[in-house]
Amino acid sequence: MKKFAFWAFQIVVLACFAIAYGVASPNIKNEIADDLSPSKRTPIIDIPREVPLRVEPLYDRPEMVSDEDLAAVLWQVRPKFDRKELRPNLVEHAIRAWSVHAEFRDPDVLSGKQMENFLLDHGTFVLSWGESASPLLQDRPTGVGVNWGEYRSNSVHHDHMLACITEAGARLDSSVLLPSQRKLTLENVIHEALRDFQLDERETEWSAMAFGLWLPPTKTWRAINGREMSFDLLAQRLMRGYLEKGVCSGTHRVYSLMLLWRLDQKFDILSENVQNEVYAHLELVRDLITESQFEDGHWPPNWNEGNAAIENPREREIRSEIIATGHHLEWLSIAPIELHPPREQIDKAAQWIIQTTKEQSPELILQRYTFLSHVGNALALWRGTTPAAFWKQWQQNNPEYTFTPIPGEDAQIDSKSEDTTH
């Protein structure tokens, strides 16, 4: 009888513990795990929103980008890809520009929902790549990792997938299906990214964007090594080093800094000193692109050299000019006018990039898709809209619309693949 009473008591204690654990906060659960396990875990940050923030464009300039020109550019950058061995890099760029809400009449064009499923559902990924390919999603004891690097079936940059699907507007509770068939959510991807972030990484542009759109007003968090991270540290890291270094001639760093500065205006995530440093840095970028623009309107990859980029130009390569011009127009669309070069220079850049994009053949569009997607997004932002919203209305008003590119002088396939540069 005593033995029965003892075990009954133990069962009651365990049941109470299970109930208490089930209703405990994530941080309490982590503290319990720390006590029971020799491997330390980091505190889980409460994500204060169900949908990510969005930094809105500041302008609507139809005299700079007409409806007809925007439609032609967006037609060129529709996500019309071969579904077999579909590279995540293409889908990440496409969903970032078009959002999870994009819909198309053409069944061969991926909708926003289809792109989201490809990135977050391993089952959908396997339909494209098969079981033998290196998976995009990684099942970790601490959450969901994203494989990136050398394999074509993986993302190209650390936290790039997270940043892109965040800018696309995916919800915090978006379903994630892992190779093990374990079902989690996008929240688990965010927590894992926060946990394993290292400030000395080569590329921090996409981590800064993703964290900036999910965390504010939270300003600090801790990574796996216990070091306190902050948006101050991220901003300073983005400003460190040679301006042109970094992906896409350093323009992603500029965009991420502009995004953090805009978020700071609402959520005060930067200290006053760092906020001033960021603004001064963006003023420097403004002055350099004012001096380095070519007469036809494009910016060169060595825009950071200012007037010297024009006096001693590098050998011209159209792909590099598209990258620099499209990306600069993108960050300028969310920048206050005080950080703009003269309006006529922005207009010339827009006309150059519109014409150049119109001239791209389908083969060149596919090869250059990753950076041309930024062009579509930038021009939509300059019209105060998004590619998905504009295209939905355009399709309703122009159901039979098609665009045929008129090839220009640049009809050569690039010597470099898009995967190695973006």
pLDDT at residue 365 is higher than 80: yes
Of 33-37, 186-190, 193-197, the range with the lowest mean pLDDT is 33-37
Instruction: Please tell me the predicted confidence (pLDDT) of residue 411.
Output: 53
Q: Which residues contact 216 (CB under 8 A, 6 or more apart)?
A: 48, 53, 263, 266, 267, 269
- Cα 155–chain centre separation: 12
Residues 179-183 have a mean pLDDT of: 94
- Separation of alpha carbons 328 and 353, rounded Å: 11
pLDDT at residue 209 is higher than 80: yes
| Segments of 129-236 assigned E as strands | 137-140, 143-146, 175-177, 183-185, 220-222, 228-230
pLDDT tier at 416, thresholds 50, 70, 90: low
- How many CA within 13 A on the CB side of residue 402? 3
pLDDT at residue 29 is higher than 50: no
| End-to-end Cα, the chain, rounded Å | 72
| Contact (CB, 8 A) for 331 and 375 | no
pLDDT at residue 388 is higher than 80: yes
pTM tops 0.75, yes or no: yes
pLDDT at residue 245 is higher than 80: no
Instruction: Please tell me the predicted confidence (pLDDT) of residue 39.
Output: 43
pLDDT tier at 413, thresholds 50, 70, 90: low
Q: Sort 317 into a burial class: Cβ within 10 Å, 0-12 / 13-18 / 19+.
A: middle
pLDDT at residue 419 is higher than 50: no
> What is the overall mean pLDDT for the chain?
88
- Separation of alpha carbons 114 and 65, rounded Å: 29
What the block records as the tokens of 105 is 């009449």
pLDDT tier at 44, thresholds 50, 70, 90: confident
Q: Where are the alpha helices (DSSP H) in 88-141?
A: 88-98, 112-120, 122-129
Percent of the chain with pLDDT strictly greater than 90? 75
pLDDT tier at 276, thresholds 50, 70, 90: very high
Instruction: Please tell me the predicted confidence (pLDDT) of residue 199.
Output: 85
pLDDT at residue 12 is higher than 70: no
What the block records as the tokens of 307 is 């007037």
